[in-house]
Amino acid sequence: VGYLPQQTKRAVIELDARAKLSGDAELLRVNPDGSTTTVKKRQPEKHDNYTRYQYAVFDFSDVTTSGVYQLRYGETTTAPFSIDASVLDNAWHPTLDHYFPVQMDHMLINEAYRVWHGASHLDDALQAPVNHTHFDLYAQGPTTDTPYEPGEHIPGLNVGGWYDAGDYDIRTQTQYHTITSLVQTWEEFGLTRDTTLVDYERKYVDIHVPDGKPDLLQQIEHGSLALLAQYKAVGHAIPGIIVPDLSQYTHLGDGLTMTDNLIYDAAMSDTESDGTRSGVFDDRWAFTSKSTPLNYGSMAALAAASRAMADYNPALAAECRDTAIAAWQEEASHAPDMFKVGNTTGGGLEE
């Protein structure tokens, strides 16, 4: 992105562990005609070794003049970057304009002539089996803590939420932390940027197509829908939803193709389908063991979302608030449920 004029500016140079650290690193200023001028030149300082590499640091914090620059060491020259007081002003745009829309589960994400992914996981989700430890830090305790039997479809979980970082599961702890952070951003900065169309009736998102609604509020809405779905389906927050099989977990590409998007029906053979159900056992599992810390995290996020969406979507805001209050009252009626496994069951009670 670049640097603010007064901030620390330290470039890290990565070298093979057997390479000799020799020669100077240079900071080049790019002139209006495309030529460059060396404004700082010095030997980088040896920093440390890590695995197969050694590292050196070139400090150019004393350069504060605004402009476009490049770094050069040996035969390598970096792409241009800026030093300027406004360098971070728009740095958040790609996150809101691209990253968040592309991560939206249960929606088709379009960008001009490209479809990032289809409306994925519309067959969510099957009740996870009891006494089961999953390979990605999920586990189900000795009971389901829901009205559903292991392997039974839990309706209503196929809405809202974002893919987890690097894979596709709906990790509730990530969802509520993200919502809380987005609400804080809304309340602190009131960002009304609008570059994305979100249409829940068609399960369709179109990047670079404004729809007259602040994108930040639409993302708060999307995360809130996933948390609300859990309370409506089973009455409490759940650790998350994830594919059961390692061959699915390693999937790369369109999230739509992880499953057939048809609800699993054990009465059908694996070659049968009727357009809404099939005998293919590929639906994601919902891990549903009750956890008081997780429940409190979701309550806090829903309460925060209700504030942010009060004018944007009053009905949804009221549902978020009422759900959070009801969950709080329910938790106060019994001893805490302290089921804990991996990093999917919430933090401390203070969270």
CATH of the domain at 146: 1.50.10.10
Domain boundary pick from 65, 83, 101:
83
Q: Is the pTM of this model over 0.95?
A: no
341, part of any domain: no
136, part of any domain: yes
- Does one domain contain both 20 and 115? no
| H or E segment to which residue 115 belongs | strand 114-117
Phi, psi at 255, each rounded to 5° = -60, -25
146, part of any domain: yes
- Does one domain contain both 8 and 126? no
- Does one domain contain both 302 and 180? yes
- Does one domain contain both 180 and 207? yes
- Does one domain contain both 28 and 172? no
Reduce the secondary structure of 183-238 to three states and give it as a string: HHHHHHHCCCCCCEEEECCCCEEEECCCCCCCHHHHHHHHHHHHHHHHHHHHCCCC
Q: Is 304 exposed, middle or buried (0-12, 13-18, 19+ CB in 10 A)?
A: buried
Range of the domain at 75: 2-83
88, part of any domain: no
- Does one domain contain both 78 and 100? no
322, part of any domain: yes
Reply yes or no: is the peptide bond before residue 317 cis, omega within 30 of 0. Answer: no
Which pLDDT score is estimated for 166? 86
Which pLDDT score is estimated for 312? 98
User: Count of CB atoms within 10 A of residue 210's CB?
Assistant: 12
Which pLDDT score is estimated for 12? 97
- Does one domain contain both 74 and 131? no
111, part of any domain: yes
- Does one domain contain both 29 and 177? no
Which pLDDT score is estimated for 350? 47
Q: Dihedral through CA 254, CA 258, CA 263, CA 269, nearest 10? A: 130
- Report the SS3 class of residue 278: strand
- Does one domain contain both 31 and 109? no
Which pLDDT score is estimated for 8? 98
- Does one domain contain both 146 and 197? yes
Which pLDDT score is estimated for 348? 61
Which pLDDT score is estimated for 347? 83
Per-residue pLDDT of the chain (351 residues; tens, 9 = 90+): 999 999 999 999 999 999 999 899 999 999 999 999 999 999 999 998 999 999 999 999 999 999 999 999 999 999 999 999 999 999 999 999 999 999 999 999 999 999 999 999 999 999 999 999 999 999 999 999 999 999 999 999 999 999 998 899 999 999 999 999 999 999 999 999 999 999 999 999 999 999 999 999 999 999 999 999 999 999 999 999 999 999 999 999 999 999 999 999 999 999 999 999 999 999 999 999 999 999 999 999 999 999 999 999 999 999 999 999 999 999 999 999 999 999 999 986 444
150, part of any domain: yes
Residue 41's Cβ-side half-sphere holds a number of Cα atoms within 13 Å equal to 9
Domain boundary pick from 56, 83, 110:
83
- Does one domain contain both 158 and 297? yes
337, part of any domain: no
Number of domains in the chain: 2
CATH of the domain at 17: 2.60.40.10
Q: Which residues pair with 155 in a beta bridge?
A: none
Which pLDDT score is estimated for 351? 47
- Does one domain contain both 203 and 67? no
